[in-house]
């Protein structure tokens, strides 16, 4: 059932809402489209997608970092400042409220922008007692499959930490170095050709396999293993809800498809 824009498909919206609210175990898989309405470019938009303006193999690979760490850091620091200049949109906020309300919900995100985490912080800001604990419990159920651009990790040892300060890429000497071993620090994101963090991927698949509903929002569903996560919900008899203005390889498997932006659809699907 496709609901092109809402109106005549009100029954469709209500059916999907009921399925999400009744389901024990919900996974929400998000991609760059969920952050598009926060002003962050997606990857494959032919007009202004990141990969239309930069060649990923020149910037988002371990080889590029070994060859020219300054240029890689210059690009990532530009993206980091861009992300920090953006705000979570109503789609992120609706997911955050749902995460806080439902401890059986897991968000598997391909996005490295940290806006899901920031939306959680915004949502509990007005809370009093217990806000920190609720925030920690909900944040632990956000699985950043491709890493986090506002964290750094050592290119040699296991050092990994939050890092929101600007990075000075004027010279190799001004690039950040590991406080444990002195090696160059890199953005804590998965680059092309690298394995994803195994534990994060395992948890994503476990959550999808036991989910009654998987909401797939804002992803072209072209990059694996992320695009395979919803298949585990289908294999265990669950349903897919797709939120994307465009068709994707998952569309045919989705029981409900909403061809509207995530900032519109997600509050309508997830809020009580």
Write out the residues near ligand APR by the rule CB under 6 A. Answer: 31-33, 36-37, 42-44, 49, 110, 146, 217-220, 222-223, 243-246, 248, 261-262
- Is 146 annotated as catalytic? yes
Residue with nearest beta carbon to ligand APR: 33
The phi, psi pair for 133, rounded to 5°, reads -70, -40
Least distance to ligand APR, CB of residue 239, Å: 19
Question: Which of 168/264 has CB closer to ligand APR?
Answer: 264
Degrees (nearest 5) of the Cα angle 123, 229, 158?
70
Question: Which of 135/143 has CB closer to ligand APR?
Answer: 143
Question: Which of 6/168 has CB closer to ligand APR?
Answer: 6
Question: Which of 135/269 has CB closer to ligand APR?
Answer: 269
The phi, psi pair for 224, rounded to 5°, reads -100, 155
The owner of tokens 């024990």 is: 24
Long-range Cβ contact pairs of 242-251 (< 8 A, separation 24 or more):
242/216, 242/217, 243/215, 243/216, 243/217, 243/218, 243/269, 244/33, 244/216, 244/217, 244/218, 244/219, 245/33, 246/220, 248/216, 248/219, 248/220, 248/221, 248/222, 249/221, 249/222, 250/216, 250/221
**First and final C-alpha spacing in the chain:** 22
Least distance to ligand APR, CB of residue 88, Å: 14
Query: Is the backbone of residue 39 left (phi > 0), alpha (psi -120 to 50) or beta?
Result: left
Distances (CA, A) of 52 to 12, 49, 130, 214, 219: 35, 5, 45, 30, 17
Least distance to ligand APR, CB of residue 225, Å: 11
Q: 92, 146, 163, 224: which one is catalytic?
A: 146
Alpha carbon 36 to chain centroid, angstroms: 12
Question: Which of 6/245 has CB closer to ligand APR?
Answer: 245
Least distance to ligand APR, CB of residue 131, Å: 29
The phi, psi pair for 202, rounded to 5°, reads -60, -50
Question: Which of 169/244 has CB closer to ligand APR?
Answer: 244
Give me the active site residues, please.
Answer: 146
């Amino acid at each position: 059932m496709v609901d092109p824009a809402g109106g005549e498909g009100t029954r469709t919206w209500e059916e999907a809402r009921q399925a999400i609210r009744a389901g024990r175990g919900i996974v929400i898989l998000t991609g760059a489209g969920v952050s598009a309405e926060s002003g962050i470019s997606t990857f494959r938009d032919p007009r202004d997608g990141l990969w239309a303006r930069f060649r990923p193999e020149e910037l988002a690979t371990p080889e590029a970092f070994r060859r020219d760490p300054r240029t890689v850091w210059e690009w990532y620091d530009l993206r980091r400042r861009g992300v920090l200049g953006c705000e979570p949109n109503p789609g992120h906020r609706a997911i955050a409220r749902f995460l806080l309300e439902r401890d059986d919900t897991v968000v598997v995100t391909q996005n490295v922008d940290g806006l899901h985490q920031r939306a959680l912080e915004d949502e509990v800001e007005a809370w009093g007692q217990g806000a920190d604990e609720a925030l920690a419990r909900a944040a632990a159920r956000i699985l950043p499959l491709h890493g986090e651009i506002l964290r750094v990790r050592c290119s040699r040892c296991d050092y990994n930490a939050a890092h929101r300060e600007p990075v000075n890429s004027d010279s190799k000497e001004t690039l950040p170095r590991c406080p444990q071993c002195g090696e160059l620090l890199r953005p804590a994101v998965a680059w092309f050709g690298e394995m994803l963090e195994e534990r994060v991927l395992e948890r994503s698949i476990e959550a999808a396999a036991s989910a009654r509903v998987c909401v797939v929002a804002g992803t072209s569903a072209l990059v694996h293993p992320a695009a395979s996560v919803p298949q585990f919900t289908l294999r265990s008899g669950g349903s897919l809800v797709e939120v994307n203005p465009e068709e994707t390889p998952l569309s045919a498997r989705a029981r409900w498809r909403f061809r509207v932006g995530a900032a519109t659809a997600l509050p309508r699907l997830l809020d009580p």
